[in-house]
Each structure stands twice: as structure tokens, then as C-alpha cells.
């Protein structure tokens, strides 16, 4: 059986890299047709996400992913949650993945700015 945390964390890291380099082709394959992203800037569907990658630079400063956790949700579905730090700025992030045709695709992604650094994260 696959190590779900390792598999989804790897996919998520590739998604961050693809966003940084505006790799639209990666995102076409990564996102399920019904995908949604919720961020401080609004709610985007799959086409909105792809358009945003092209129109808006997503050059991220050095960042660190911390404390990844995974929660299986039934057969072929899981939530990956973690904290990402951009120096002084932190976000809480979650991505819902669904497995279809033998592969994992993102169906929902959410980012919440942290109001303060949690004690449990140092």
C-alpha cells in the first residue's frame, strides 16, 4: 500500500513549483475538472485557476512546508493539510485529492493566512 502522506506531499510540492514557474500544462493535468480554489482573493474554478496562472505572476519567495498531515476520506479521497511559511508570513493550506483512473488529482485547495504563529509550530 502506498504511503499516502508521502505521495500527496510530493504532488503538492510539484504544484507549488508549477505555480512558481507558471506551468499551466502541469495544472491542466493536476486539477480535476470540477476543481475549486478558495483564497483570500476569492473562489476560482478550474478555468479561473488556469487563467490566473497565466495572467498573474506567482513568483514565491523562499518558502517552507511544515507539519503535513493527511486524512483519508472514504475510498479514493484524502485531505492534505499543512502550514507554509514565507519568512514572516504563514498560511494554513489544505488540498482535497480524489483518486480516479489510478491517479490523484486536486479537487479543492484552500489557503488561510495565519493571524499569528501557532505555539505548536515553534
Average confidence score pLDDT of the chain: 88
Report how far apart, in Å, the C-alpha atoms of 86 and of each of 44, 63, 73 are.
23, 5, 29
Q: What is the DSSP letter of 120?
A: G
Task: Decide: pTM greater than 0.75.
Answer: yes
Write the pLDDT tens digit of every residue in 15-36.
Answer: 988 888 889 999 999 999 999 9
Lowest mean pLDDT among 61-65, 67-71, 82-86, 113-117: 113-117
Lowest mean pLDDT among 54-58, 77-81, 111-115: 54-58
Q: What is the DSSP letter of 60?
A: P
Q: How confident is the model at residue 86 (pLDDT cuts 50, 70, 90)?
A: confident
What fold does the segment set 4-114 form as a domain?
A: Nuclear Transport Factor 2; Chain: A, (3.10.450)
Amino acid at each position: 500500500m502506498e504511503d499516502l502522506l508521502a505521495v500527496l506531499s510530493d504532488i503538492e510540492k510539484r504544484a507549488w513549483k508549477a505555480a512558481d514557474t507558471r506551468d499551466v500544462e502541469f495544472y491542466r493535468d493536476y486539477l480535476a475538472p470540477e476543481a475549486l480554489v478558495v483564497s483570500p482573493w476569492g473562489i476560482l474554478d478550474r478555468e479561473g485557476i488556469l487563467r490566473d496562472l497565466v495572467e498573474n505572476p506567482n513568483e514565491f519567495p523562499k518558502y517552507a512546508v511544515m507539519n503535513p498531515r493527511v486524512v483519508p476520506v472514504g475510498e479514493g479521497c484524502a485531505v492534505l493539510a499543512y502550514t507554509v511559511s514565507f519568512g514572516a508570513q504563514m498560511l494554513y493550506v489544505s488540498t482535497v485529492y480524489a483518486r480516479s483512473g489510478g491517479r490523484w488529482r486536486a479537487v479543492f485547495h484552500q489557503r488561510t493566512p495565519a493571524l499569528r504563529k501557532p505555539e505548536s509550530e515553534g
